[in-house]
C-alpha cells in the first residue's frame, strides 16, 4: 500500500540535477591541481621576469661601461679600441699642455757676443769654463732643450740672479717664484732634488734669503756636470759650432 500523496511508481531524477549528483559531477580539487599549478608557475615566472628586466638592462649597461673601460687591459689586441684612442688623445693633450707651460715664462737666451774658437775649445777643458761665459751657457742650454731638461739651467740661472739681490721684499718674491717654478711638485718645470735638499729648502722658505736654494743649486750643477755635459761635448751642436769656427779661422 502506498501512502497518501506518494506517486504510484518511483520517479527517476535526471542525472546532474540533484544536489549530491551536481557535487559529484564537478571536478574536485585534486583534478584541478595539475593545470592550476602549471598556470601559477608560469605566472610566477612572468612576474619574476618582468620587474627584473629594467635592472637587468641597467646591469648590462653598467657591465658594458666597465667593459669599455677595462678593454685596454684585456688579452685581445684591438687596435681600433675606442678607449685606447681617447686615452691617447688625452695623453697627447696633456703633453702638449705641459710643453706649452714650459715655454711660458722661459727667459730668452743671454745676450752675448759670438764665441771665439779659443772659448769653444776651452769649453771642452772643464764644465766650469763652459758655465763661466754667457755664450757657453747659451750653447749648453740649447743642447739641454733637445733633451727636455732646460729647466736645470733655468733654475741655476734664477738662483744666480737671487744671489745678486739685496732688497728683502724682492728676495722674498723671487724666492717664492723660484719655489713655485722649479721646486713645487705641481710645476711642469720641477727639477730633480732629493728629499734632504727639499727639507732644507722648506726650512729656508720660512725666512727666504739669497742663499735659500744654495744646496739645490749645487745639486743641479753637479747633475748637469756629470750627466749632461759629457753628452754635450759629443753632440752635433758643439761639434758643428767648433767646425764652423775652425773653418772661419782658416779662411781668415
- Quick one: pLDDT at residue 174? 97
| Mean of pLDDT over the chain | 75
- Considering Cα of 188, then 190, then 195, then 198, what sign does the dihedral take? negative
Residue 31, pLDDT above cutoff 50? no
Residue 134, pLDDT above cutoff 80? yes
Answering whether pTM is above 0.95, one says no
Residue 79, pLDDT above cutoff 80? no
Residue 75, pLDDT above cutoff 50? no
User: Do residues 178 and 159 lie in contact, with contact meaning Cβ atoms separated by under 8 Å?
Assistant: yes
Separation CA 38–CA 43 (nearest Å)? 9
Place 48 in a pLDDT band, splitting at 50, 70 and 90.
Answer: low
Cell numbers of 85, please?
684612442
Cell numbers 740661472 correspond to what residue?
157
Residue 191, pLDDT above cutoff 80? yes
Separation CA 150–CA 181 (nearest Å)? 13
- Considering Cα of 227, then 232, then 235, then 236, what sign does the dihedral take? positive
- Quick one: pLDDT at residue 92? 53
Q: What are phi and psi of 23, to 5 degrees?
A: -65, -40
- Quick one: pLDDT at residue 112? 79
- Quick one: pLDDT at residue 63? 46
**Hey, which of 24-38, 68-82, 169-183 has the most confident mean pLDDT?**
169-183
Amino acid at each position: 500500500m502506498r501512502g497518501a500523496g506518494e506517486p504510484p511508481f518511483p520517479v527517476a531524477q535526471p542525472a546532474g540535477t540533484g544536489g549530491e549528483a551536481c557535487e559529484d559531477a564537478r571536478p574536485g580539487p585534486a583534478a584541478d591541481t595539475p593545470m592550476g599549478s602549471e598556470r601559477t608557475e608560469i605566472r610566477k615566472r612572468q612576474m619574476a621576469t618582468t620587474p627584473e628586466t629594467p635592472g637587468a638592462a641597467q646591469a648590462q649597461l653598467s657591465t658594458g661601461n666597465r667593459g669599455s673601460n677595462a678593454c685596454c687591459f684585456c688579452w685581445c689586441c684591438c687596435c681600433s679600441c675606442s678607449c685606447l684612442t681617447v686615452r691617447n688623445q688625452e695623453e697627447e693633450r696633456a703633453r702638449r699642455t705641459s710643453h706649452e707651460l714650459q715655454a711660458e715664462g722661459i727667459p730668452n737666451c743671454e745676450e752675448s757676443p759670438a764665441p771665439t774658437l779659443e772659448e769653444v775649445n776651452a769649453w771642452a777643458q772643464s764644465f766650469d769654463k763652459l758655465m763661466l761665459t754667457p755664450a757657453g751657457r747659451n750653447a749648453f742650454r740649447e743642447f739641454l732643450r733637445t733633451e727636455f731638461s732646460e729647466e736645470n739651467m733655468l733654475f741655476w740661472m734664477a738662483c744666480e740672479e737671487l744671489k745678486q739681490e739685496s732688497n728683502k721684499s724682492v728676495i722674498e718674491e723671487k724666492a717664492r717664484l723660484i719655489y713655485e717654478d722649479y721646486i713645487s711638485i705641481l710645476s711642469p718645470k720641477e727639477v730633480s732634488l732629493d728629499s734632504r735638499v727639499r727639507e732644507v729648502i722648506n726650512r729656508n722658505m720660512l725666512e727666504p734669503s739669497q742663499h735659500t736654494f744654495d744646496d739645490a743649486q749645487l745639486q743641479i750643477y753637479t747633475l748637469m756636470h756629470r750627466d749632461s755635459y759629457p753628452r754635450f761635448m759629443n753632440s752635433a751642436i758643439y761639434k758643428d759650432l767648433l767646425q764652423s769656427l775652425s773653418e772661419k779661422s782658416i779662411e781668415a
